[in-house]
Amino acid sequence: MTERDHILREEKETLFKQAEKYRSDVKKRQKNFILDFMTLICGAVFLVCVIELSFYYVGSFRYKKSMNELSDAIGGGIAADAQKKTVSSPENRDVLVFPDEEAHELIGYVSRFDDEVSVTWREKYAYLTEFNHDCIGYLEIPDTLLSGPVMFTPEWYDKYLWKNFSGQYEHRGLPFLDAATQIGKSQNYIIYGHNMNDGMNFGSLPGYLKKSYCEEHPYVYFNTAVSEGVYQVMYVSRSRVFKVNEEGFRFYQYGGVLTENQFNTYLREMAKLSLYSTGVTAEWGDELISLVTCDHYVEDGRLVIVCKRVQ
């Protein structure tokens, strides 16, 4: 090998090493860029999650505070009043007068349990409707976070799906009655509410998936503009919203005023769907409420708590 060949060989080796180093540097820079980019993305996602969680829990705190303030304003809800009241004790009662006649034009006859409503509830209801005429009642399950107003706007039945008591946007919403409801006439009051992870609105209802929880919370208190009622949990059922061409029992079509056949059909089908037996039964002439919330065990799943009026 001549000296010229030796020099050319060394130059080739040098150029090859330089090219290898360049490729290595490019790959390193690319790797570092990807790592930096992924770190930036992860940091941004983490920051967004922190902000979202902060807003969620701050919103949860404010919502809970507002519900507590509303409950305190009417003397701590309605359950305590019902527990103190006895049928044979006429004290603090008055003839039936709709507290705010301009709030709704929906009053018919009341259930067989009530010929009159107490002065205490009339005062509480008048306070609620003073702030919002869409309020038609109050719902409470003792020793849970469920204690608050029930809304009724049949011309826009899910108006309070995303609104608070002041009418402002709130993704927790408020419980609201089905559009088919006729106050004082309905055999089955269907009440909808969000299943919130923080337990607000209907977020406490999934507890009923366990029979032990039902045994600890067997009674639901629901007052309307014309009635004060105590209801006992009868069925804890899972169902879903069916598409147009799908077959299945559409429980949500059995609210409001029912015929005897419709009432019995509803009881029979919900009993089939019930997760366990409570020992509570009903018959034609009884009044029901059905609390409905989302249940993600299937797509468009619903949890339905059917309760019978016992007082």
Asked if 121 and 220 sit in the same domain, the reply is yes
Asked if 35 and 138 sit in the same domain, the reply is no
Number of neighbours of residue 49 by Cβ within 10 angstroms: 10
pLDDT digits (tens, 9 = 90+) for 209-232: 999 999 999 999 999 988 999 999
The confidence score (pLDDT) of residue 95 equals 33
The CA distances from residue 302 to 136, 158, 185, 194, in Å, are 24, 16, 25, 11
Asked if 98 and 159 sit in the same domain, the reply is yes
3-state secondary structure of 50: helix
Tokens representing 72 are: 């305190």
Asked if 86 and 228 sit in the same domain, the reply is yes
Torsion of Cα atoms, 146 then 149 then 154 then 155, to 10°: -110
Among the candidates 73, 89, 107, a domain finishes at 73
In the predicted model, is pLDDT for residue 298 greater than 80? Answer: yes
In the predicted model, is pLDDT for residue 55 greater than 60? Answer: no
Asked if 69 and 90 sit in the same domain, the reply is no
Distance CA 212, CA 218 (A): 10
In this prediction, residue 92 has a pLDDT band, given cuts at 50, 70 and 90, of very low
pLDDT digits (tens, 9 = 90+) for 159-168: 999 999 999 9
Question: Residue 237: beta bridge partners?
Answer: 274, 304
The confidence score (pLDDT) of residue 27 equals 73
Mean pLDDT for 4-28 is 67
| 128-134 LR contacts (CB < 8 Å, sep 24+) | 128/70, 128/74, 129/99, 129/100, 129/103, 130/100, 131/165, 131/166, 132/165, 132/166, 132/167, 133/100, 133/102, 133/103, 133/104, 134/159, 134/160
- Of residues 77 and 254, more confidently modeled: 254
In the predicted model, is pLDDT for residue 112 greater than 50? Answer: yes
Among the candidates 22, 42, 73, a domain finishes at 73
Asked if 50 and 170 sit in the same domain, the reply is no
pLDDT digits (tens, 9 = 90+) for 235-247: 999 999 999 889 9
Asked if 125 and 273 sit in the same domain, the reply is yes
Domain boundaries, position 32: 1-73
Mean pLDDT for 46-53 is 58
CATH number for 293: 2.40.260.10
Element (H or E) spanning 58, and its range?
helix 3-73
Domains contained in the chain, number: 2
Element (H or E) spanning 43, and its range?
helix 3-73
The confidence score (pLDDT) of residue 186 equals 94
Q: Is 174 exposed, middle or buried (0-12, 13-18, 19+ CB in 10 A)?
A: buried
